[in-house]
Amino acid sequence: MPVAPALPAGYGASATMWARSVPIAGERMSTTSPGLRKRSGPGLPSASVGEEFFQVLVRHLVRATGADYAFIGELTGPHSGRVRTIAVCQGERPMENFEFLLAGTPCEEVVEKGLCSFSSGVRDRFPLDHLAAQMGVESYIGIPLVDSAGVTLGPMVLLGRRPIDHPELAERLLRIFAVRAAAELERRSSERTQREQLHFMQTLPTKSSLPASKPAPLPASQA
C-alpha cells in the first residue's frame, strides 16, 4: 500500500496548492509545497474519457491519499435507492464492479446531505452496511457527484481499514476531482440516452415496411 506523503506544518492552508500539483498529464508528480516528497507513477491523463478516466481516477485517489479503497458509483435510477459502481480499486488493483442498496450506508448520507467524513467507527455507526463489514472498513470519506442541473448522479468514495491520513487533504482532493468526475458521468449518461433514442427510432417501422393498404370498396349505390 503506497504511503501518503508527509505534510509540512500548517499544511491546511496549502492543501489546495498541493492538490493542484497532482498530475493531470504526464508520468511524475511534483509538489509545490516544501517538505512534500516526489513520487513517480502514472498521472491522470486530461484526455481520458469514459471507463478509462474513472479507473485512472480511483487509482490516483488511492495513491494520493493512502486510502485502502476508492470507488465511483452511479445511482441506478432517480428513486431506485441503489448504486452501481463504475470503477473500484483496492490499493492500485482494479476490482469487479458491484451494486448495493443505499439504505443504512454512509453513501446514503452523502447522496442526501453532501460530503461526509468519518475518521473511525464506520461499522459501528452503520451496522446495516454489510459491504463495509465485509471490507473491514474503519474510515470513510465520500462526496456526491452533481450534474449541471444540480441532480446528484452518485457518490465518489474513499475507504480505509484504518483512519485515513490527513482527512482534510483527502476531502479537498475529492472536491477538486468531483467536478471533472461529475462532468464525465453526465456526458456518459447523455451519450447513453442518445443511443437509446437512436435505437428506438431505428426500431420504428418505416413507411416502406408497412403493408400496403387496399382501397375501401365503393358503396353498392356507386358500384
pLDDT in tens, 142-200: 999 999 999 999 999 999 999 988 999 999 999 999 999 999 999 986 676 655 656 55
What's residue 79's pLDDT?
Answer: 83
- The partner residues of 157 in beta bridges, in order of sequence, read 71, 142
pLDDT for residue 36 is more than 70? no
Superfamily for domain range 49-193: GAF domain (3.30.450.40)
pLDDT of residue 197: 59
CA distance 54 to 172: 18
| pTM for this model (two decimals) | 0.70
Q: Looking at residue 80, what is its pLDDT?
A: 85
pLDDT at residue 9 tops 50: no
pLDDT digits (tens, 9 = 90+) for 54-102: 999 999 999 999 999 999 999 998 888 999 999 999 998 999 999 999 9
What integer pLDDT is reported at residue 125 of this predicted model? 96
Q: Looking at the predicted structure, is the pLDDT value of residue 221 above 80? A: no
Residue-range domain boundaries for the chain: 49-193
**Higher-confidence position of 125 and 3:** 125
Work out the mean pLDDT of the chain and round it to a whole number.
Answer: 77
pLDDT at residue 77 in the model? 85
Which of these, 101, 48, 52, 55, lies nearest to 75 by C-alpha position?
A: 101
Over the range 157-181, which residues count as b (16 or more CB within 10 Å of their CB) and which as e?
Answer: bbbbeeebbbbebbbbbbeebbebb
Which pLDDT score is estimated for 51?
84
